[in-house]
Amino acid sequence: MFTDPTVDVLVVGAGPAGLLTTCGLRKAGVNPFLIEQSSRTSAHAYSALLHSETVDALDTLGIGVAIRERGLEIRRIQINLPAGEIIDLELDRNASPIVALPQSSLEEILLSALQEAGSRVHWDHELTDLGETKGLVAATVAEHGEVPQGYPVLALRRLVIREHCLKTRWIVGADGYHSTVRRMGGFGIDHSGAARRFWFFEAEAEGALEPLVRLWINEDGVAALWPLGGRSCRWTFESSGSIGTTGAEAVLRSLVRRRAPGYTSGIAEIKWSAGGLFESRLCSVFRKGRHVIVSDAAHLGDPIGTQSMNAGLQEAVDLVGRLAGLLNGTYDEKTLDQYSTHSIRRWKNLTCHDLKWCGEVPAWAADSLEPLLRSLPASGEPRNEFLRQLGLAPPVAAG
Ligand SMILES: Cc1cc2nc3c(=O)[nH]c(=O)nc-3n(C[C@H](O)[C@H](O)[C@H](O)COP(=O)(O)OP(=O)(O)OC[C@H]3O[C@@H](n4cnc5c(N)ncnc54)[C@H](O)[C@@H]3O)c2cc1C
């Protein structure tokens, strides 16, 4: 049994957004309670680029230094257009770098920061139901454990070993794509486009790689190469058809030959590969009563621009300040509606949803602009600066 079943903030999900929200709240003097249904954080690289603006946001919570130390700083992006034209983009010298850092390393850094701040993850605890009691949220949490089966050879089975009822003033759904908080809190989702399929290969190149993000755009979609330090790298390919990952090295070599002209560093080894379908979606609000959602629970975009996790981390930092202010009496509840409006505006801006271009749009942009915009690993002012380097005035609200 939990010793104190009433908490100020219950955070659901120990992915990057939930870890950061909990860590930030703890640093702001709040005592949040973090539950995670799995037994540990993700072991793979998954999302691996932090935008300059995200690095700035992490700096405000004192996590930026560790991020820069562990990650690879990148200041250049190379765009290869269908007709063979190459455009080089460079970050403003005063902007923080883009940092290439596997999601697993980011989660390790956030876990240590959480422990240093005096909090922890309650692993193997799954939110299963939500209700209301005396103006508070009543959360039912199933605790999982491995139970021996009593066979002569030891076999363990994962079962619910206890059920807890936790009361909380605020609940934060950082519980990802299948969010239980979103579903049970009654949040609506707007879908704004067809799902696209992507294939990921985490590989070692034969030679060292420059700190440069490379994008290739052609009729098959976008291909991207992110260096991850030394010879490690991530290849991502958008593809409407099935690529298959059996014989992954041969598949990757053939894809690189066909879709990444100009790449010369070879492929030495593949560490893992996977495929996935990514939808474009956005919740109509991020706050409903005492329920708040953040990151993948609230939106989803393409993986190459790493938009969803980066927006999510920026939202988490914003939410921390508002929740802490609300609990210490500096703000009233309207601050959470502002969090919702502000986050939706930021997402629409990032994904160019409901925006129109001002001024002249260069000729190359006719077919390449849309895939390029969803693949640029940048947000906020650094992104606007990249748009200016591409000859585009940042877009404004349509209508
Ligand atoms: C194979 C793969 C490759 C990817 N590649 C990229 C990429 O290249 N670029 C990119 O931007 N993104 C990529 N992503 C997506 C990226 O991993 C997510 O955007 C990121 O993890 C979102 O972080 P989050 O904290 O919002 O949610 P998540 O990391 O999904 O964390 C949510 C957590 O909540 C927990 N949870 C869910 N429900 C409950 C519950 N009821 N009770 C308790 N806990 C719960 C989950 O177990 C999970 O740990 C990839 C994902 C996959 C699977």
What are 293-304's pLDDT values in tens digits?
A: 999 999 999 999
Q: Residues 31-54: what's their mean pLDDT? A: 90
Q: Does the pLDDT value for residue 192 go beyond 90?
A: no
Neighbouring-strand partners of residue 49 = 100
What is the DSSP pairing of strand 49-50 with strand 98-100?
antiparallel
For residue 311, give every residue at least 6 positions away whose Cβ sits within 8 Å of its Cβ, in sequence order, or none: 295, 299, 343, 346, 347, 350, 379
Q: What is the pLDDT of residue 216?
A: 98
Ligand 1 pocket test, pick from 125, 128, 175, 294 with the greatest ligand atom count within 8 Å of Cβ, gives 175
pTM of this structure: 0.95
Q: How far is the CA of 54 from the centre of ligand 1 (A)?
A: 17
Q: How far apart are CA 324 and CA 259, in angstroms?
A: 48
What are 119-137's pLDDT values in tens digits?
A: 999 999 999 999 999 999 9
What are 318-339's pLDDT values in tens digits?
A: 999 999 999 999 999 999 999 9
Which of 70 and 396 is assigned the larger pLDDT? 70
What does pLDDT average to over the chain? 92
pLDDT class for 154, splitting at 50, 70, 90? low
Q: How far apart are the first and last CA of the chain?
A: 55
Which of 123 and 146 is assigned the larger pLDDT? 123
Determine the atom of ligand 1 nearest the C-alpha atom of 294. Answer: 26
Q: What is the pLDDT of residue 326?
A: 98
Q: What CA–CA distances, in Å, run from 160 to 126, 127, 168, 183, 196?
A: 9, 12, 22, 22, 36
Element containing residue 199 per DSSP (H, E): strand 196-205
Q: Does the pLDDT value for residue 43 go beyond 70?
A: no
Q: What is the pLDDT of residue 261?
A: 95
Q: What is the pLDDT of residue 353?
A: 77
Q: What is the pLDDT of residue 46?
A: 87
CA 86 to chain centre: 28
Q: Residues 347-352: what's their mean pLDDT? A: 90
CA 206 to chain centre: 29
What are 228-258's pLDDT values in tens digits?
A: 999 999 999 999 877 765 788 899 999 999 9
The pair of structure tokens assigned to 125 is 């605890």
Q: How far apart are CA 122 and CA 129, in angstroms?
A: 17
pLDDT class for 150, splitting at 50, 70, 90? low
Q: How far is the CA of 313 from the centre of ligand 1 (A)?
A: 12
- Please return the burial class of 125, using the count of CB atoms within 10 Å of its CB with bins 0-12, 13-18 and 19+: buried
Give the domains, in start order, of the chain with CATH numbers: 6-61+105-192+280-350 (3.50.50.60), 196-278 (3.30.70.2450), 358-397 (no CATH)
Q: How far apart are CA 296 and CA 277, in angstroms?
A: 14
Q: How far is the CA of 29 from the centre of ligand 1 (A)?
A: 27
- Tell whether ligand 1 has an atom less than 6 A from the beta carbon of residue 314: no
Q: Does the pLDDT value for residue 3 go beyond 90?
A: no
What are 94-107's pLDDT values in tens digits?
A: 999 999 999 999 99
pLDDT class for 360, splitting at 50, 70, 90? confident
- Tell whether ligand 1 has an atom less than 6 A from the beta carbon of residue 102: no
Q: Residues 368-395: what's their mean pLDDT? A: 91
Q: Residues 66-72: what's their mean pLDDT? A: 96
